[in-house]
Amino acid sequence: MKKLGAVVCLLLLASACGGSSDSDELTALREEVSMLEEQITTTVVPSTTVVPSTTEIPSTTEVPSATVVPSTTEVPDMQVAPNTTVIPSITEAPVLTFDLSETEVSVVDGIENSSSKELPEETELVKDHQPGCSDIPRRQPSFEAGIAKHELWIGRVADDVIIDQKMLGQGFSVADGLMIDGKPHLWMMAASDHVLHHAIIDRGNFIDLGPISIDGDIFQGVIDPDIFLLPDGSFGLVAVNGTNRKAGPICLFKSYDGQNFETIRIVLDEIGVQDPSVVILDDWVMAVKTVDKQEIRVLIGNPDKGFIEMHTLEGGDPDLTISKEGTLKLTVCSEGMLIVYSSTTGNSWEFHKRIRSQTCGPATISGSNLILHLPKPGQGGAIEVLEGPSQPAPSITTSVN
């Protein structure tokens, strides 16, 4: 700028001295001024030094709003399956009113004291592919409303009534149990996930140990458990493939801890059967209910050679046990109460007695005089049925000669 001013002064001076005629020197000065003016207009670019549109860039500075994705950050809440992890009736275990010291126990160090419970030699518990059992569809555990209101109760049978009753929890159904080291161990269906659960009663508290696994998976599809001990001291579990339109077949599972089971084999390859109950003598004695009928079938045989139907009788929810004297007892739900049949070998049965308690779902805890049962929800346990006129013994139909 200073140089331009000096040149302009010289130009004015030359113009004053030379009049209107241009000399060569004046012409050169004018050309130099013109060049300097062009340089100034190119170096001063105010429109480029102030670039508000590029320095603010609001569309990029607010990008963090795009990283906030509520539907994904809240996924942990969806993954907390309330039906499987939140079980109030388990965490708030009620204290039982009965004293387990009064329980008749015939279990020593976790193994039933019964030399008669041996598997037939021809029955080999070898795990193999068993269509209908080893390939049960693995359904995702989910809440089962159908048994959500069921109440699981426990008590003792004294003469012909159930006494010392206590509700263990709501949302449990179809149970069975064993006395192990002086403690009742239970296996039952849970409404929270519709999976078999293992529980214990310890110092009067009902403690759910959670769902069992089968072949390493926890899944929905196995129903109606019946538990017993195998000769090697492991747990045998017969249960039903409940994924078919009509339940069946009946499967055998095995475990060494009562929590993790593996599929062993098919026990009864039939459809339309439920609620199996097993006692093992020289052969297997098994009772099953026919689906959609109040009919109990009593079968004898073994999984290798098959089973023969020996008898049928009216009722539901069969429970087979063996007493400390070696007598077989079959308890069923019928006539609005419980009816007990007895046998020495399982080949022939006779009426034993009525348990005048209004309830169903009987399951004797093997090795004790404790009984699990499922009274009508809200009934307050098994209600004693007043004894009326003498009733005839219920009929038993013989299936084979």
Question: What is the per-residue pLDDT across 329-370, written as a single tens digit (0 to 9) for each?
Answer: 999 999 999 999 999 999 999 999 999 999 999 999 998 999
Count of CB atoms situated within 10 Å of the CB of 177: 25
Tokens (6 digits) for 295: 């009919």
| CB-based burial label for 239 (10 Å; 0-12, 13-18, 19+) | buried
Counting as low any pLDDT under 70, the low residues of the chain are 1-130, 388-389, 401
Q: Are 261 and 122 in contact (CB under 8 A)?
A: no
Percentage helix, strand, coil for the chain under 3-state DSSP, each rounded to 5: 20, 40, 40
**What per-residue confidence (pLDDT) applies to 9?**
46
CB 7 within 8 A of CB 32: yes
Position 393 scores a pLDDT of: 86
| Residue 183: per-residue pLDDT | 95
Distance, CA of 317 to CA of 280 (rounded, Å): 19
pTM (2 d.p.) = 0.70
Handedness of CA 253, 256, 258, 262 (dihedral sign): negative
108-118 per-position pLDDT tens digit: 333 333 333 33
Residue 390 has a pLDDT of 75
Specify whether the CB–CB gap between 112 and 106 falls below 8 A: yes
